[in-house]
Amino acid sequence: MKALDTNVLVRYLVQDDPAQGRKAASFIEGAATANEQILVSNIVLCETIWVLDSAYGYSKKEIEEVIGKLLLVATFCFENKDVINSAYEDYRSAAVDFADCLIGRLNASLGSEPTTTFDLALRRVPTFQML
């Protein structure tokens, strides 16, 4: 299995640097052609979403589309795909950060009670409870 860093995934998605974009595409498409898996870790996924939002000004709708497409690419594998799918659904249904949704879902998958928070935006996310 291969793995990639956030900057490679961002270059692949955004194609803002032609040379690096081509290299990223070659790496990913080469793995796909060889039927190899590429790990997208939870941290890389969260960082990618943060970069798309903060550095590239992607809207929430655009980020939802990116996440949805990444989850459908057979070449990409994820640490906890079921957990990420659940976090993705939470993210789509509430005005909250994806990283928060993933935190709540990861904690629940490890057997915790709802994650305690002060963040009022998370009050409608089922894996959180207000302190």
The string of pLDDT tens digits covering residues 80-114 is 999 999 999 999 999 999 999 999 999 999 999 99
Task: Give per-residue pLDDT as tens, 42-69.
Answer: 999 999 999 999 999 999 999 999 999 9
* Residue 109: per-residue pLDDT: 97
* Residue 11: per-residue pLDDT: 98
Q: Which residues contact 43 (CB under 8 A, 6 or more apart)?
A: 6
8 Å CB contact between 127 and 107: yes
